[in-house]
Amino acid sequence: MGEDSNNKVVLERKITLWNGVGIIVGSIIGSGIFLSPAGVYTYTESVGFSLVVWCLSGVLSTLGALCYAELGVLITRSGGDYAYLLEAFGPLVGFLRLWIALFIIRPTTQAIVALTFAEYAAKPFFPNCVIPQDLIKLLGAICLCLLTAINCISTKLSMKVQDIFTAGKLIALISIIAMGVYGMIISDTNNFDDAWSGDYDAKKICYAFMQGLFAFGGWNYLNFVTGELQDPYKNLPRAIYIGMPIVTIIYCLTNLAYFAVLTGAEMKASIAVAVTFGNKIFGSLAWLIPIFVALSTFGGVNGVIFTSARLFATGANEGHLPSFFALFHVTKQTPIPSLIFSCLVSLIMIMFGNAFELVNYFSQALWLSIAACVGGLIWMRKTKPDAPRPIKVNIIIPWIFLIICLGLVLTPSFTEPMNLAINILITLSGVPFYFLCVKWKNKPAAYKKVSKSVEKFCQILFSSVFIDEESH
Ligand code: LEU
C-alpha cells in the first residue's frame, strides 16, 4: 500500500489471475446447480431440452462474459455494471443500477445464498424432520457476519476463503459427475428414452432459462473488482476464458449425472435435486451432499459480499452514495463501512423479508440491466470509437446476446406484465432520490455538517481513509 500526495490510500492490486478465476467460478457455483435443475425440468418436462437449456445458459453467459471482457478493459475501474452504465448512459442510469443493487439485488442474493447455506449446514442434524425456520435464519445471519468479518480483516484472507471453497465445490461437483457415471454403469437407466417429449411453451421455456441463468449468475462479478485485479488488461479476459468453460462443462455434466440417476418424476418432486441424487446413489455417504452444498454456498456468499462492497465504494467515489462508503481501512485496505452496511441490509432481509420471493421480482431488473450494459458496449463503439479497447469482440456477439437476453426477459411479460411493471417501478423509485441526494448540490449547511461528522466518525471508528482510484 502507498499513500499519495493527497493522503489518499493507493490500493494495491492483490487479486491474481487465479484469484480472478476463483471469483468467477466460486461466485457462479453457489446454490443454483444443487437446486435449479428441478426447476428447469419442471418447466420443460423434457430431459433432452433441459440439457439444452443448461448448455445454452452456459453459452449465453459466456457470450455475456465476453462482452464484459471488452467493457472491463475499456473501463478498468471497479463497479461492474454500474461503472459501465455510468460511462455509457450517464449518471442517472448509473445511479438507478446502483439503487437496485444497494437495496434489492445484492442483499437479496446474499440472503438467499446464506439461507441456502444455513438450510444445508443444519440438514445433517435434522435428518428426518423439518429444520426450525429460526435456526435457519440464525445460521444464515452467522454466515453473513462471519464472512463480512473475514472480508473486513483482509482482502488476501477473503481471497483464500474464495479459493479454498471454490476448490471444495469443484470437488463436490466432480464427485457428483463421477457417481453419475457409476450410476449409468451399474443400472440400465432408461431415463434418456423419450428424451425430447416435453412441454415447449414459449413462456415456460423462458422461465426454464431464468432458472438456468440464475445458476450461472455471477459471471460478471470479477468486473466489479477490476480496480484490484493485477494486470487487468490481461487477467480479466484470461480469467473469463478459463472460468466460463470450466463452469459450463461442469454444469452440463452434473445435469447429465442427475438425469442418469433420477427419473423425471423424482426430479420434479425434489426440492433439492443433489440431496435426492445423493440419497439414491451415495449410499451411506449421502450425508456428504448437504455438506457439499453448504460449503459451496458459503464460498458463494463470500463472492457476493466481496464484490458488493467494491461496487458501493465505487458508487460513493462517484458521489452517488454517502462518502463513508468509499472509506478503506488504512492498512488492511478493506472497505469496512461498505462491507458492514451491505451485511446489515442483508441481515434485515433475512430477519424480516422474504428473499426467495423477491428474487422473482429482481431477476428481470437484473437481466435488463445486463442487457443495458451490453447495449452500452454497442453504443460506446459509436460514441467513443477511438477509446483504447485492448479487447474488441466481434460486434455480432453483443447483438446476439442482447436479442436473446431481451427475448428471454420480455417474452413472459406479454402474458404476465405485472412482474415487469413492478421491476420498472422499483428501479424508477430511485429517481427522486437521485435528484434529492445527487443532483441537489446546494444542500443546507446543517445537512453538510451532519454528513461531514458521519464521515469523520466512520474514518476514526474504522481507521479508514479514502482511496485514490486515479492512481491505479
Ligand atoms: N449462481 C449463484 C448460485 O447459483 C447465484 C448468483 C446470483 C450469485 O447460487
Q: Report which of residues 419 and 94 the model is more confident about.
A: 94
| Of the candidates 367, 343, 373, 346, the residue with the CA atom closest to the CA atom of residue 419 | 367
Amino acid in the structure at residue 190:
N
Distance 157 CA to ligand 1 centre (A): 22
Rounded mean pLDDT of 273-293? 89
Distance 40 CA to ligand 1 centre (A): 15
pLDDT of residue 356: 67
Q: Give the range among 87-101, 379-393, 437-451 with minimum mean pLDDT.
A: 437-451
Ligand 1 neighbour 300 (Cβ under 6 A): yes
Please compute Rg for the chain using Cα positions.
Answer: 22
Q: In ligand 1, which atom is closest to the CA atom of 116?
A: 9
pTM: 0.88
pLDDT of residue 361: 67
pLDDT at 19 over 60: yes
Mapped onto helix, strand or coil, the DSSP state of residue 332 is coil
Neighbours of 7 (CB within 10 A): 9
Confidence of residue 282 (pLDDT cuts 50, 70, 90): confident
Superfamily the domain 8-471 falls into: Amino acid/polyamine transporter I (1.20.1740.10)
Ligand 1 neighbour 215 (Cβ under 6 A): yes
pLDDT at 294 over 50: yes
pLDDT at 406 over 90: yes
pLDDT single digits (tens) 57-73: 999 999 999 999 999 99
**pLDDT, averaged across the chain:** 89
pLDDT at 246 over 60: yes
Instruction: Give, for 409, the enclosing helix (H) or strand (E).
Output: helix 396-415
CA distance 289 to 294: 9
pLDDT of residue 143: 96
Distance 307 CA to ligand 1 centre (A): 13
Ligand 1 neighbour 347 (Cβ under 6 A): no
pLDDT at 5 over 50: no
Q: Find out whether 109 and 440 touch, Cβ atoms under 8 Å.
A: no
CA distance 400 to 427: 25
> Most confidently modeled of 135-144, 263-272, 445-454?
135-144
pLDDT at 472 over 70: no
Q: Give the range among 144-158, 273-287, 333-347, 366-380 with minimum mean pLDDT.
A: 273-287
DSSP 128: T
Rounded mean pLDDT of 380-395? 94
pLDDT at 360 over 70: no
pLDDT at 469 over 70: no
pLDDT of residue 471: 42
| Best of 24, 25, 109, 292 for a ligand 1 pocket test (most atoms within 8 Å of beta carbon) | 109
Ligand 1 neighbour 213 (Cβ under 6 A): no
Ligand 1 neighbour 31 (Cβ under 6 A): yes
φ/ψ region of 283 (left if φ > 0, alpha if ψ in -120 to 50, else beta) reads left
pLDDT of residue 2: 47
pLDDT single digits (tens) 155-169: 999 989 988 999 999
Q: In ligand 1, which atom is closest to the CA atom of 297?
A: 9
ipTM value, please give it: 0.97
pLDDT single digits (tens) 338-358: 999 999 999 998 988 776 666
Confidence of residue 98 (pLDDT cuts 50, 70, 90): very high
pLDDT at 391 over 70: yes
Ligand 1 neighbour 198 (Cβ under 6 A): no
